[in-house]
Amino acid sequence: MTYQDILQDLKNKKYSPVYFLMGEEPYFIDLVTNYIEQNALTEEEKTFNQIVLYGKDTDVPGIIESSRRFPMMSSQQVVIVREAQGLAKIEDLIYYVDNPLASTILVINYKYKKLDKRKKLFKALGKKGVILDSRRLYDDKIPAWINSYLGTHKKKIEPKAAMILTEFLGNDLGKIANELDKLVLILDQADVLISPKHIEENIGISKDYNNFELNNALAQRNVLKANRIVKYFESNPRSNPITLSITSMYFFFSKLLNYHFLKDRSRRNVASVLKIDPYFVQDYERASKNYNPSRTVRAISLLREFDLKSKGFGNVSASHGDLLKELVYKIIH
């Protein structure tokens, strides 16, 4: 089941005896866990009927013992096991999952790992419980997720603002959600559409000096703008590490190379193939005029070279600021 499916069932008070929440993306695992913790029982029922355990401090026999206990003055009890990836002999849960107690909601929060689908426990969970395989979103899916998340708060976001957030925060959904929550609280109700200016004023990410704008400057071969951004990055190295800049540029030029070999360059097809918002197709159209395929390949080669230099290979004394200046100069010229 997807996390949306699970949350919908939970909102409809449709509970399963066991939830096994696993995978690489902790945000969705915590989202489901927290919803059950906060909503499955009333505040009065939680006093005697909600138990939160931690994988490093408990074991499977202890979890089974807690799960087999009957609720007090309630029709249900909740047993939550956080950080369950720290448990030894997780497979022994089969002895409970094969015959779970109907009055218990057992939640196993199993982050960054997955059960072996060939094992008996996985098959038993599929019959008696609910399994969530929480997968990390690819970077190109993050802006759409931001839009969807804000939609639940009756807000929208400009494509450029979503890209700035993605470039700065990466694919850490927990961190992104935290920043968006703060933004929603700060903004006036009348501010339905979130702009780059809102991002700058309330989150602190410059709307003019960021990796998204650096890529735009490179695409247009705008020397003055690119140098201003590099100078800003050099003055704020902790907020703008060179590794993130190189990664961002690498993705841009890789997509540009792909663009050069597309036969169908309609807006819809380009957006689909490059996995970008249709709003940004024009950026690649402009960039293709300034960088033919051979220049694009050269830019990608330079990025690989300077990525190694930024990590100390073939570089003795140049600072990250100096490396970024040289890299940008060589790409444009």
Of residues 313 and 110, more confidently modeled: 110
Question: Is there a contact between 199 and 165 (Cβ–Cβ < 8 Å)?
Answer: yes
Tell me the CB-side half-sphere exposure of residue 175, using CA atoms within 13 A.
Answer: 10
Question: Is there a contact between 139 and 251 (Cβ–Cβ < 8 Å)?
Answer: yes
Mean pLDDT of all residues in 239-263: 94
Spatial distance between the Cα atoms of 235 and 160, rounded to a whole number of angstroms: 24
pLDDT band (50, 70, 90) for residue 227: very high
The whole-model pTM stands at 0.79
Largest CA distance in the chain: 75
Q: If you average pLDDT over every residue of the chain, what do you get?
A: 93
| SS3 (DSSP) at 269 | helix
Spatial distance between the Cα atoms of 281 and 319, rounded to a whole number of angstroms: 34
Is the pLDDT reported for residue 319 higher than 80?
yes
87: closest CA among 120, 117, 62? 62
pLDDT band (50, 70, 90) for residue 314: confident
Could you tell me the domains of the chain? 3-134 (3.40.50.300), 139-203 (1.10.8.60), 211-332 (1.20.272.10)
Q: State residue 170's pLDDT score.
A: 82
Q: State residue 236's pLDDT score.
A: 87
Spatial distance between the Cα atoms of 217 and 221, rounded to a whole number of angstroms: 6
Spatial distance between the Cα atoms of 125 and 266, rounded to a whole number of angstroms: 46
Spatial distance between the Cα atoms of 20 and 85, rounded to a whole number of angstroms: 11
Question: Is there a contact between 198 and 234 (Cβ–Cβ < 8 Å)?
Answer: no
Where do the H-state alpha helices sit in the chain?
A: 3-11, 26-39, 43-49, 60-67, 94-97, 120-128, 142-151, 159-169, 173-186, 196-203, 211-220, 223-235, 242-260, 267-274, 281-290, 293-310, 320-332
Q: State residue 324's pLDDT score.
A: 95
Which tens digit of pLDDT belongs to each residue from 23-51?
999 999 999 999 999 999 999 999 999 99
Q: At what angle do helices 159-169 and 142-151 cross, to 10 degrees?
A: 120
Question: Is there a contact between 125 and 160 (Cβ–Cβ < 8 Å)?
Answer: no
Mean pLDDT of all residues in 78-101: 95
Q: Which two tokens stand for residue 231?
A: 């100078």
Is the pLDDT reported for residue 316 higher than 80?
no
Residue 107 CB partners (closer than 8 Å, separation 6+): 19, 21, 32, 33, 36, 37, 78, 79, 80, 81
Q: CB neighbours (10 Å) of residue 294?
A: 9
Q: State residue 322's pLDDT score.
A: 92
Residue 127 CB partners (closer than 8 Å, separation 6+): none
Which tens digit of pLDDT belongs to each residue from 107-123?
999 999 999 999 999 99
% of the chain residues with pLDDT over 70: 100
Q: CB neighbours (10 Å) of residue 72?
A: 10
Residue 218, burial from CB neighbour count under 10 angstroms (0-12, 13-18, 19+)? buried
Which tens digit of pLDDT belongs to each residue from 142-199?
988 999 999 988 999 999 999 999 888 888 899 999 999 989 998 887 888 999 999 9
For 296-323, give one letter per residue: b (16+ CB within 10 A) or e: beebbebbeebbebbeeeeeeeeebbeb
Q: CB neighbours (10 Å) of residue 328?
A: 23
pLDDT band (50, 70, 90) for residue 1: confident
User: In which residue are the tokens 């470039």 written?
Assistant: 167
Q: State residue 98's pLDDT score.
A: 94
Q: Which amino acid is at 305?
A: E
Q: CB neighbours (10 Å) of residue 8?
A: 12
Q: State residue 203's pLDDT score.
A: 87
% of the chain residues with pLDDT over 90: 79
Q: CB neighbours (10 Å) of residue 116?
A: 9
Spatial distance between the Cα atoms of 61 and 177, rounded to a whole number of angstroms: 36
